Copies of this chain bind each other. A is one copy, B any other.
């Protein structure tokens, strides 16, 4: 145990000193699903926490086919050229189920992956309920302690991943394509209202004029929606990841956002609220998993669900029987 603590102290120092290998080992520790590694990971995190928080955290989501990977490759490389250290994380809640990320590996962003200022980490697999979120958040904190200036968190756009990412970043951008009207029909409910910027991608070649029209249309629609961040008017920009063009404007927008929200206090308020919310959602997850993984509950839940849905039993009476079974475990 003493040797274990010593290793954590050394690992922590190496991560702070900028060792890439130690960073990867630290994240592997965080991502482990064993109880022993959990404790060591928490110790590591505790020693690194005072050095975290210094980055700008940017969430990136997009409609299918919007060209997220190419955009992140170009945007990330641009930031590296400016001398920034850039970490790219991905969050894929489905990896809780499949046991591995559907995003796979780094091959999607080959240029960025080779850049010495960049660090790309695919989505962790889940383990316990809520595990993917915890691991991605903790990885973000460790990357900050390791000196990364910009954290890009990519969502796979399935399930509730946009909401989850929105809750862990400062700035959230939505990548879209041209044809706003038609495209919006297929867009998830409320997704535009999570965004601090809408980026119309593929504004190049014969597509350029349509992209600019789409940008205008999005700006018009945004006028009717509540902004995601108090005091910040969400706006639409156009860019091309292959030309490339518009990338500088996007980064300038992010910097403006950071300056304005730090001045107003919204930036720090949001981070505090995110941490509080994270604490409470972990509690809720743990309560739920304790309940639904209980063998007694598992056994009678289908029967009770059928009874209440068919209307042969009141819902509250079903809940009461489930809790009698659940609490029985503790009384033994």
Where the two chains meet, the residues of A that have a C-beta atom closer than 8 Å to any C-beta of B are 38, 42, 45-46, 49-50, 52-53, 134, 137-138, 180-181, 184-185, 187-190, 193, 221, 223-226, 272, 275-276, 278-279, 282-284, 286-288, 291, 304-305, 308-309, 311-320, 322-323, 330-331
Contacts and interface: CB of A to CB of B under 8 A. Distances in A.
A319 B226 contact: no
Given A190-B189, A225-B184, A305 B319 contact: no
Given A190-B193, A226-B187, A282 B330 contact: no
B282 A226 contact: no
A138 B316 contact: yes
A42 B282 contact: no
A172 to B, nearest CB: 14
Contacts of A50: 311-312
A316 B282 contact: yes
23 contacts: A38-B316, A42-B316, A45-B314, A45-B316, A46-B317, A49-B312, A49-B313, A49-B314, A138-B316, A221-B221, A272-B309, A275-B308, A275-B309, A275-B311, A275-B315, A276-B309, A278-B308, A279-B308, A279-B315, A282-B316, A283-B323, A284-B287, A330-B330
Number of copies of this kind of chain in the complex: 2
Contacts of A314: 42, 45-46, 49, 138
Contacts of A225: 184, 189
B316 A134 contact: yes
Nearest to A327: B330
B291 A283 contact: yes
B315 A282 contact: yes
Contact of A305 (B184, B193, B279): B279
A223 B189 contact: no
A224 B134 CA distance: 34
Per DSSP, chain A at the interface is helix
3 A-B pairs with least C-beta separation: A330-B330, A287-B287, A45-B314
Contacts of A312: 49-50
Contact of A53 (B190, B278, B311): B311
Contacts of A189: 190, 193, 225-226
A42 B317 contact: yes
Contact of A278 (B276, B311, B315): B315
Contacts of A185: 224, 226
A52 to B, nearest CB: 7
Given A46-B313, A49-B313, A330-B330, 4 more contacts: A42-B316, A134-B315, A138-B316, A278-B315
Nearest to A304: B279
Contacts of A288: 284, 287
A318 B276 CA distance: 11
A164 to B, nearest CB: 14
Nearest to A287: B287
Contacts of A278: 308, 315
